[in-house]
Each structure stands twice: as C-alpha cells, then as structure tokens.
Amino acid sequence: MLLQVSGVTKSFAGAEGPVPVLSGVDLSLDLGQTMSLQGESGSGKSTLLHIVGGLDTVDGGQVLFDGRDVAALDEAGRAALRRSDVAVIFQQFNLIPSLDVSDNIRFQARLAGREDAAQVARLIETLGLGDHRHKYPEQLSGGQQQRVAIARALAARPRLILADEPTGNLDETTAAEVLDQMLALVGDTGAALMVVTHSPAVAARMDRQLHLRAGKLA
C-alpha cells in the first residue's frame, strides 16, 4: 500500500481554544488508484491533503507513505518526501513567477533529480503548451497556467499526486479539458491521485469517492 492513513487528528488554535479539524480519519490509497475527497468548506479536506503531502503535521494518528511514518519525519525529511515522491497541484496554480513555462515544468523534476528532457517535451506537446514554453506565468491564461502546474507535477514522476481543486478556477469547458488531460497523463505514469474537489462531476471521474464531514469520513 502506498498510502495508509490511520486515526489522524488535527486541530487549529481558535479564539476560544483548539478547533478540531480532523477527528480520526482512516484511508488508504495504492499506486494507480484515484480518489476524490469532497466536503463542505472547513470540513478538513485541504488539511488532510496537506498532511498526506508532508506539508503539514498531525496532532495524532499515523500517516504511512510506502511504509514510512510521515509524522515521524523532521522538516528536512518531509521536504525530501515532497521533492521526490509527492507532487501537489493547487487551485491557484502557484507557479514560480520568475521562471518561464519550460523552467517551471522542469523545476520539480530537477529538484527530484529525475529530469527527462524527452518526457518534458512530450508533456509540453500533449498539454498544448508548445507555443508558450518561453512565456512567464503572468502571460498565461488560467487554463494554461493549470496545464503548466499539471505538467510540473507529472514531469517529476512522483508516486503520489495531490490535487486541491485543480479545476476550481477554470471555466466549465476548460475545466473538462484539463481534467481529461490530467487523468490520462496520471494513468500513463501509474501514480496514485488524490483530488480535493467540490465538484460532483470531477469526483465521479475517480475510482473512489470519499466525503469528509466535521473532520470525519462519512
């Protein structure tokens, strides 16, 4: 099993004491599988995604990634996990503004030490970014920026891809196109995919659909 989450709890400091966000979450995900995570705003789905990706830490419970306890890793260990095994696709794209399209796509792959020029070229071609490779993020539309973010995630050939509302900032047509391309490419790499979404249409495209309600899986 690539990912095993058991009894994870997390709370944030509030004005009147700690506010629980996750209250004992269990789930698992294996290579090649896709999963959606739905829930109302504030239900804890983004927090869970961040914990799984080594961006945030747990208060209790266990997150095993390929048998390693992510909660036991220090900051450097979690950074190494993010560099080599996990890629995150954000709703706000979060590209690096100082790098052009080509460099943005290669960036995480180079950090992971897995840059493959042929694969990068293929991704650029497949995602229709050929004419934009020397442009900077601010010169691209939202759909183009999200395609760059997807290419960046896939170019690093991670084993787990996390996507937080990947189509939330896009119009319906563009969102459908981007989702198709993302699922096809993820399928090709054999990576596991966890998508946080409000959209039932997006969730329906995943192998499994989970719902978070008040910090627990429903």
Partner 1 sequence: MTRAVLQALAAHWRRNPLQFFTFLAGLALATALWSGVQAINAEARASYDAAAATLGEGRFDQLVPRAGDSFPQDTYVTLRRAGWQVSPVVEGSLRTDTGRVRIVGLDPLTTPGALSPVGGARDIDLNSFLTVGVLFADAATADRLAGLPQEVVRDPSVAPDTALTDVGVAQRLLDRQGRLSRLIVAPDQPLGLPPLDEVAPGLTRVAAQSGSDVGQLTGSFHLNLTAFGLLSFAVGIFIVHGTIGLVFEQRRGMVRTLRTLGVPLRRLIVLMTVELLLLSLLAGGIGVVLGYFVAALLLPDVAATLEGLYGAQVSGGLQLRPVWWLSGLAIAVLGAGMAGAGSLWRIARMPILASARPRAWAMAAGRGRWLQGGAAVLLLAVAAGIALADAGLIATFALLGCLLIGGALALPLILGAVLALGQSRAKGVIGGWFWADTRQQLPGLSLALMALLLAMAANLGVSTMVSSFRLTFIDFLDQRLFADTYVRGIDSERMAGIQAFLQERGATVLPLLRVDSRLAGVPAELMGARIGPAYEDNWVFVDARPDAWAQVAAGEAVIVNEQLARRAGLWLDDRLDLGGGLRLPVAGVYGDYGNPLGQAVISEARFAGVFPDETPRQFGVLGLDPEDLRSVLGDAFDLPPGSVVDQSSVKAFSLAVFERTFTVTAALNVLTLAVAGFAILMSLLTLSAIRLPQLAPVWAMGLTRGTLARVELIRALVLAALTALLALPLGLALAWVLLAMVNVQAFGWRLPMYLFPLDYARLGLLTLLAAALAALWPALRMARTPVSQLLRVFANER
Question: According to the binding rule CB under 8 A, does residue 76 interact with partner 1?
Answer: yes
From candidates 67, 98, 118, 173, binder to partner 1 by CB under 8 A: 98
Q: Distance between CA atoms of 92 and 131, rounded to whole angstroms?
A: 22
Q: Which stretch binds partner 1 (CB under 8 A): 31-39, 100-108, 180-188, 205-213?
A: 100-108
List all residues 6 or more positions away from 166 whose beta carbon is below 8 Å from its beta carbon: 89, 90, 91, 146, 149, 150, 178, 179, 182, 195, 197, 202
> Which of the residues 182 through 211 are near partner 1 (CB under 8 A)?
none
Among 1, 6, 69, 110, binds partner 1 (CB under 8 A): 110
Please identify which residue in 31, 64, 71, 111 interacts with partner 1, judged by CB under 8 A.
Answer: 111
Smaller CB separation from partner 1, 16 or 138: 138
90 binds partner 1 (CB under 8 A): yes
> What's the maximum distance between 2 C-alpha atoms anywhere in the chain?
54
168 binds partner 1 (CB under 8 A): yes
Exactly one of 9, 11, 33, 57 binds partner 1 (CB under 8 A); that residue is: 57
Give the Cα separation of 65 and 29 in Å (integer): 10
- State how far the Cα of 164 lies from the Cα of 184, in Å rounded to an integer: 18
Evaluate whether 218 touches 53 at the Cβ level (below 8 Å). no
Best CA proximity match to 150, nearest among 132, 134, 129: 129
The sign one gets for the Cα dihedral 180, 185, 186, 190 is positive
Residue choice 103, 122, 176, 211 for contact with partner 1 (CB under 8 A): 103
Nearer to partner 1, 112 or 191 (CB): 112
The binding site for partner 1 (CB under 8 A) comprises 12, 41, 46, 50, 53, 55-57, 75-76, 79-84, 87-88, 90-92, 94-99, 103, 106-108, 110-112, 138, 164-165, 168
